[in-house]
C-alpha cells in the first residue's frame, strides 16, 4: 500500500491486505471507506499521517477495543479527536517486524563472506540480528543452531535454504526516529502496532526485543540520504556491506523513492555494497518492473532484481524462477 494514495483507495487496499490476517482491521478499513464523517477527519491530516496502520494504532492507544466492531473505532476517532490527532502526529508505524527475516535470510545467504549490515528505517534495529534466530521454511527445510527463537515462513519454489547462519561482523542502521529497546513506552507502542488478533506476532516481538537488548545496535538518527555514505564507509571495514530495508521506502515521497532507487543502483554498480529490498508491489517500480505481484505480497529483491514474493509480515516466501526475472530490475546477481 502506498501511503500517498487517495484515502478511500488506500483504505480499500489495506482491507484487502488485512483480509485473512486481521478480520478486525479488514472491517475497520471497509467501515472507514463508507463513513463520510471519518473520511473528512482523515482529510484534515497530512497525507503521510492518514495511513490505516497509524490511525488504527492511535485509536487503540486511546481505548478503541481490538478486536472489536467498527463502532468502537469510530467512537474514539470522533470522540477523542484531539488526543488521537496528537498521537498520530507524534508517533510513527515502526513495526520492525522481525518475522520478515524468514524471507530475508535466504537472500542474505546468497551474499558471500562475512556481512556488515546496514538497515534503512531500522526503528529499534530488531531486524539486524538474522544470525540470532533459527528458521523453518516448510516444506523445504530449516536452519538450526543459533539457540534463538524460531521464525517460520511457508515456502514455495526453489528457495535456497541456507546451509548455515549468516556471519554478521557488524550491524548498524539509520532511522528518523530510532527506538530504544530499553524504553518501555517505545516498546509498548511497538506492541500496540501489532495487529489485534496476532498474539503470535506479539510474542515474537517481545522475544525480538529480548534478543536486541543483549547487544543493542547502533542506529543513527536522521535522514538516510545524509547518513548512508558514512555508514557504508564504516561497514566496509568489517565485511561485505549489505543495505537492507523492509516496508520502509513507501514512506518517502515519489521523488524520494526514485532518488533512493537511483542511489542504490549506482552503489551496487560501483561495487560499494549489496542491496536487499523488501517492499510493496508498487513502491519501487524500477525493481518490480512488469512482474505480477498479488495483493498482500512484497517484492523481495537482491541488487535490484526480484528473487521472491513475500508475505508482508514474513509468513510466506514464494521463490521466483531466476530465468523469469532476468529482464526485471537493475544490478547484478553473483
Whole-number pLDDT of residue 148 = 92
Whole-number pLDDT of residue 322 = 60
Instruction: State the Cα–Cα distance between residues 241 and 309, nearest whole angstrom.
Output: 23
Instruction: State the Cα–Cα distance between residues 302 and 308, nearest whole angstrom.
Output: 9
Whole-number pLDDT of residue 6 = 85
139 preceded by a cis bond (ω within 30 of 0): yes
Instruction: State the Cα–Cα distance between residues 251 and 95, nearest whole angstrom.
Output: 13
Decide if 25 contacts 14 (C-beta within 8 A).
Answer: yes
pLDDT tens by residue, 5-64: 589 999 999 999 899 889 999 999 999 999 999 999 999 999 889 999 999 999 999 999
Instruction: State the Cα–Cα distance between residues 136 and 76, nearest whole angstrom.
Output: 40
Residue where the block lists cell 491486505: 17
pLDDT tens by residue, 101-127: 999 999 999 999 999 999 999 999 999
Across the range 184-198, mean pLDDT stands at: 93
Instruction: State the Cα–Cα distance between residues 233 and 229, nearest whole angstrom.
Output: 6
The yes-or-no verdict on residue 80 having pLDDT over 50 is: yes
- Residue 60 contacts by C-beta under 8 Å, 6 or more apart in sequence? 66, 192, 196
- Residue 218 contacts by C-beta under 8 Å, 6 or more apart in sequence? 171, 172, 173
E strand spans, 288-333:
297-302, 305-311, 316-319
**pLDDT averaged over every residue in the chain:** 92
Amino acid at each position: 500500500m502506498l501511503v500517498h494514495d487517495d484515502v478511500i483507495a488506500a483504505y480499500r487496499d489495506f482491507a484487502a491486505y488485512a483480509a485473512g490476517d486481521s478480520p478486525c482491521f479488514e472491517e475497520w478499513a471497509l467501515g472507514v471507506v463508507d463513513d463520510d464523517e471519518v473520511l473528512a477527519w482523515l482529510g484534515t491530516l497530512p497525507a503521510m499521517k492518514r495511513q490505516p496502520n497509524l490511525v488504527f494504532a492511535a485509536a487503540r492507544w486511546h481505548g478503541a477495543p481490538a478486536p472489536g466492531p467498527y463502532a468502537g473505532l469510530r467512537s474514539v476517532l470522533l470522540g477523542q479527536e484531539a488526543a488521537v490527532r496528537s498521537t498520530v502526529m507524534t508517533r510513527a508505524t515502526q513495526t520492525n517486524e522481525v518475522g520478515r527475516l524468514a524471507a530475508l535470510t535466504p537472500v542474505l545467504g546468497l551474499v558471500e563472506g562475512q556481512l556488515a549490515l546496514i538497515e534503512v528505517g531500522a526503528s529499534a534495529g530488531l531486524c539486524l540480528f538474522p544470525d540470532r534466530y533459527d528458521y523453518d521454511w516448510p516444506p523445504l527445510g530449516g536452519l538450526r543452531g543459533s539457540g534463538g527463537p524460531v521464525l517460520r515462513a511457508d515456502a514455495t519454489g526453489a528457495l535456497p535454504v541456507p546451509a548455515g547462519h549468516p556471519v554478521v561482523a557488524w550491524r548498524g542502521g539509520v532511522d528518523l526516529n530510532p527506538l530504544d529497546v530499553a524504553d518501555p513506552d517505545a516498546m509498548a507502542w511497538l506492541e500496540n502496532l501489532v495487529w489485534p488478533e496476532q498474539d503470535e506476532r506479539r510474542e515474537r516481538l517481545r522475544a525480538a526485543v529480548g534478543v536486541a537488548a543483549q547487544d543493542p545496535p547502533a542506529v543513527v538518527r536522521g535522514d538516510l540520504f545524509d547518513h548512508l555514505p558514512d555508514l557504508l564507509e564504516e561497514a566496509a571495514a568489517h565485511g561485505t556491506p549489505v543495505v537492507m530495508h523492509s516496508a520502509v521506502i513507501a514512506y518517502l515521497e515519489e521523488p524520494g523513492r526514485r532518488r533512493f532507487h537511483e542511489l542504490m543502483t549506482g552503489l551496487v554498480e560501483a561495487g560499494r555494497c549489496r542491496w536487499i529490498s523488501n517492499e510493496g508491489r508498487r513502491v519501487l517500480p524500477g525493481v518490480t518492473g512488469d512482474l505480477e505481484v498479488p495483493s498482500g505480497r512484497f517484492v523481495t529483491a537482491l541488487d535490484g532484481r526480484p528473487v521472491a514474493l513475500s508475505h508482508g509480515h514474513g509468513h510466506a516466501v514464494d521463490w521466483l524462477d531466476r530465468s523469469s526475472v532476468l529482464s526485471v530490475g537493475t544490478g547484478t546477481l553473483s
